[in-house]
Amino acid sequence: MFLLDGGVGSMEITVNGEVREVESVRSIAELLQQFGIHERMVVVEHNGEIVPRAQFAEAGLAHGDNIEIVQMMAGG
């Protein structure tokens, strides 16, 4: 995991095993927002490391990164 470097543009990242091209996404928080996922309902792994929710906005993304998003579901 690394901090934002200020760069914005198109890049390919792998999200839950699927390669996706994303634009103007610099952080995990922005990625979740783009997917319409509420931050409090997920656990995110970035390149093999779990990212604390408080660091979603600072956790920068780069071309080739691997993101796993596990979404909590209510009910039973």
pTM assigned to the model: 0.82
- The yes-or-no verdict on residue 6 having pLDDT over 70 is no
For the CA atoms of the chain, what is the radius of gyration?
Answer: 12
Residue 10 pLDDT class (50, 70, 90 cuts): confident
Mean pLDDT of 21-34: 92
Give tens-digit pLDDT for 34-69. 999 999 989 999 999 999 999 999 999 999 999 999
High-pLDDT (> 90) share of the chain, %: 72
Q: Could you give all domains of the chain from N- to C-terminal order, each with its CATH number? A: 2-71 (3.10.20.30)
Neighbours of 4 (CB within 10 A): 14
What does the pLDDT read at residue 8? 54
Dist CA 69 CA 55 (whole Å) = 15
Pinpoint the alpha helices (H) of 1-76. 28-35
